[in-house]
Structure 1
Amino acid sequence: MNSNSEIKSLLQKFVLNQCTPEETNEVIAYYKKNKLTDDFPSVEDIQALLVETPKMDKQTADDIFLNILSASKENETTIEIAPEKSNFRKYISIAASVLVLLGVGLAYKQGAFTKTAEQKFDFKSNDIVLQLEDGSVQIISESNSAQVKDSKGKIVGNQNGDKIVYENSSDLEKTTYNTIKIPYGKKFRLQLSDGTLVHLNAGTTLRYPVKFIAGENRQVFLDGEAYFEVAKDKKHPFIVNADELNVRVLGTHFNVSNYPEDAATDVVLVEGSVGMYRSNEEFDAAKNTILKPGFKGSFNKENTQISTKAVITDIYTSWINGGLTFRNMTFKNIITKLERRYNVTIVNKNEKLANEKFNASFKEESIENVMSYFNDIHGINYTIKNNQILIK
């Protein structure tokens, strides 16, 4: 750690239990180097404490962080906390001491200490978050390379830039899930243990097995949008659960869009074969909807009916390469998708626009160019200041 800003950033992750094992060791090494205490716990002690932190309820967390802030003001390195919270005594002493050292003080009071693994993910943050089976989280930096480890410290995959590749050599004997959460303004890729490649769009959450177990279906759970290039395996169907809809394949390329603002979950098939059926039903090839390449299947979230139609698949998969497409979409929904894509805030004061429907396609355009198009073609007046857009 070469600067105070880097130390502060890493410390924040440490207190929130978002450090990788390597980053945890870095905090410890820094602390020891500066001899901030004679009673510093071992690496194992700290990592054991970190496993406990996801269990904290909000009141406990608030009490702990208030004590940290009090210690910062008083320049103390120990904190007395209630007996029922004594499990965290060493952990809090460490955090408070380093906070004092760095002079962080009240700077963290405005929300930085309120984010835990159990809180709802803030899609407007800048962090890609990987959550393990035990609830602990790791922050994924697209500019770095790192090992992906399970809760026991075993390597299960490797991250290089905007992609994680999971190994198939793990000795896991039961299904263990990881969950990855992609914030607004970013995309990411996963290669699952069977070789399946998944492209994840902004504002997407995917829950998936660290390793697929022989004899069991390969099932993942999607909120948002993803393009799947599924490795062929006739003995183990690959199933994407999108809330009330299941999409079943053996090996194929297809796109699933399941964002909350949309009235339907759309499945677009590029190649191969896809079965669509309600998640509370068993798959039946004779009764369920089977898509052919070049078709889109739409699952109506209100009446749970499935309809199909022929489409130009490139329109629906262009997002992988930076494209953006709206088809017969209300302006209200377009705003939501623009906010997700560009990580901006859009305030629409033109209520007449909200339910009007538009068609538009863009290549890799900036938000300024997209808004300029709507102004030129549809006469939509707006102003842009920083990351906020006001539609008049």
Structure 2
Amino acid sequence: MENKEYLQQLAEKWKQGTISPEEQIEFNQWYDSFDDSMLEDTGARESVTALKERIYTRILETENIDPQDTSLAQEHQTIPLKPSAKPVSFWISVAAAAAIFVAIGTALIFAPPLKNKSNATFTKNIGKDLKPGGLKATLTLADGRTVSLDEIKAGTLPEQSGISIKKSKEGVLVYQVQDRKQSTVHPSGFHTVSTPIGGTYQIELPDGTKVWLNAASSIRFPASFEGLKERKVDLNGEAYFEVAKNKDKPFRVAGQQQEIEVLGTHFNINAYPNEQIIKTTLLEGSVLMRYGKGPAAKLKPGQQGTFNQGKWDIKAVNAEEVIAWQKGNFVFNEQSLSSILRELERWYGVKVDYSQVPDRNFSGVISKDVYLSKVLKMLSLTGNIQLSLEGSSIKISK
């Protein structure tokens, strides 16, 4: 943050709840370097207004800004936004996205992270904490052998019929065709990558298509697409695809009776068995959706398609929010508590008694790279719901 005037503008907007997502990113990035040790959380309940006022006052004190001088903050309507060095997206950095958010009714407000010892205190109160997930997956080869991808070092795996398989330094599983004739696929030449609860993984298929698997998901695909008329994969769970273009060989994704056909595009499919409907969201290009023997439907970028009661429901959505998981964040937009808890189940391996879950919706964003206790505390700050961890189960009380 280069000047105090701009900082006070952002702090004032944040306190008043008028800060934009782009401004929130800059504000949080500055806050990561801010010493907020005097903001230690005692565990006592505090109103939204009181919490935000306390943080705001501390920010002004740290930057030696006179809280009585409101002229700087009042200028925020005429001073243009500070340009970003690189394109700004909705997503907050991992450290900043670990922000505490508090609720008014069912709407959550973003607030900077309280970098103090409160998390340890809260963990002690609820019992053993649960770590967030990470890069974990198992590769099952065509002959049935399995490889634990999170345990092996970066390098080349044993070659499979003209196919080179490598684990990159970044933890990406990369397939490359070395011998096109030898790599021609036979019925048993399929590989499967499976992520456990609390695991994600990225794969680059032999055609160059990039796939990000979410937790508790699996994708089955040919070790090579050579000699095939189409590029077809089977998905269980959720994945984000960036499909390599090949107009002569369409790419298809099958899962839970639904099939998606694309030529080259970016899209996300949520097809978990414990979710009521399958959601297909398009970011770029076009896709054709089919469900069983029912009618087909086409999506445009920024649209999401679901199939319910024999017909397609297509609506406009914020596609970047849908793939927040792929960028390392939880993003909730008027999302039911039950749906949120199912996401926590898949990421932290926790259990939930859904008979006790109230019918409430939440909106907010938080990094997936935080302990479960922090997420539960954020949700509990609504004032009329209490989420705690007992063993490996979430206890809910009002």
Contact 1:147 1:155 in 2 (8 A): no
Aligned ranges 1:238-317 → 2 under 5 Å: 238-280=251-293, 288-300=296-308, 303-317=309-323
Deviation of 1:134 (Å):
2.2
SS at match of 1:187: strand
Say which of 156, 166, 182 aligns to 1:158. Answer: 166
Q: Which has the bigger relative contact order, CA under 8 A and spacing at least 6?
A: 2
Deviation, structure 1 residue 378: 5.8
**Is 1:132 the equivalent of 2:150?**
no
Q: Residues of 2 paired with 1:264 and 1:304: CA distance? A: 12
Please say if residues 266 and 285 of structure 2, whose CA atoms lie closer than 8 Å, have aligned partners that are also in contact: yes
- Measure how far apart 1:142 and its partner are: 5.9
Task: Verify: 1:363 aligned to 2:335, yes or no.
Answer: no
What is the CA RMSD across the aligned residues, in angstroms? Answer: 2.6
Aligned to 2:10: none
Instruction: Find the partner of 2:387 among 367, 371, 382.
Output: 382
Q: Which ranges of structure 2 fall in alignment gaps of 5 or more residues?
A: 1-132
- CA separation of 1:125/1:272 partners in 2, compared to 1, >3 Å: closer, same or farther? closer
Contact in 1 for aligned 2:193/2:219 (Cα 8 Å) = yes
1:240-273 C-alpha deviation (Å, 9 max, x unpaired): 1012100110001111111112111111110101
Structure 1 position 336, deviation (Å) = 2.1
Where 2:342 maps in the other structure, the secondary structure is helix
TM-superposition CA deviations, 1:53-78 (whole Å, max 9, x none) = xxxxxxxxxxxxxxxxxxxxxxxxxx
**Cα distance 1:333–1:232, how it changes in 2: closer, same or farther (>3 A)?**
same
Counterpart residue number, 2:127: none
Match of residue 351 from structure 1:
355
Aligned AA for 1:201?
Answer: N
Tell me what 2:185 maps to: 174
What SS is found at the alignment partner of 1:198?
strand
TM-fit CA distance, 1:125: 12
CA distance in 2, matches of 1:296, 1:378: 34
C-alpha deviations, 1:165-198, integer Å up to 9, x for none? Answer: 1012242222521001101222110001111000
Alignment of structure 1 residues 32-47 onto 2, 5 Å? none
Offset, 1:157:
1.1
User: What is the alpha-carbon distance in structure 1 between the residues aligned to residue 352 and residue 327 of structure 2?
Assistant: 27
Partner residue in 2 for 1:49: none
Q: What is the one-letter code of the residue matched to 1:174?
A: V
CA–CA separation in structure 2 for the residues paired with 1:162 and 1:280: 39
The one-letter code matched in structure 2 to 1:362 is V
TM-score under structure 2 length normalisation? 0.59
**TM-score for both structures, normalised by structure 1:** 0.60
Deviation at 1:297, TM superposition (A): 0.6
Aligned residue among 337, 347, 362 for 1:341 = 347
Residue type at the aligned position of 1:276? M
1:373 counterpart (370, 375, 378)? 378
Q: What count of residue pairs does the alignment treat as equivalent?
A: 258
Matched, 1:199 2:212: yes
> Quick check: 2:137–2:200 contact (8 Å CA) kept in 1?
no
8 Å contact 1:126–1:183 — kept in the other structure? no
| Alpha-carbon distance in 1 for matches of 2:242, 2:352 | 37
Residues 339 and 233 of structure 1: is their aligned pair in 2 closer, same or farther, counting only changes over 3 Å? same
Q: C-alpha distance in 2, partners of 1:206/1:136?
A: 16
- How far the C-alpha of 1:126 sits from its partner, in A, is 9.1
Cα distance 1:195–1:279, how it changes in 2: closer, same or farther (>3 A)? farther
Distance 1:174 1:280, change over 3 A: farther
- Structure 2 residue identity aligned to 1:384: L
Change (3 A) 1:280 1:210: farther
- Residues 126/274 of structure 1: CA separation in 2 closer, same or farther (3 Å cut): closer
Match of 1:149 in 2: 158
The equivalent of 1:324 in structure 2 is 330
Distance in structure 2 (CA, Å) of the matches to 1:245 and 1:378? 41
**Contact kept? 1:125, 1:183, Cα under 8 Å:** no
Q: Distance in 1 between matches of 2:171 and 2:217?
A: 15
Residue aligned with 1:149, SS: coil
Letter in 2 for 1:368: S
Name the structure 1 match of 2:90. Answer: none
- Which of residues 209, 216, 220 is equivalent to 2:233? 220
Distance 1:357 1:222, change over 3 A: farther
- In structure 2, C-alpha distance between the alignment counterparts of 1:378 and 1:254, rounded to whole Å: 38
CA distance in 1, matches of 2:254, 2:290: 10
1:79-132 residue CA offsets vs partner (Å, 9 max, x unmatched): xxxxxxxxxxxxxxxxxxxxxxxxxxxxxxxxxxxxxxxxxxxxx999521111
Match of 2:102 in 1: none
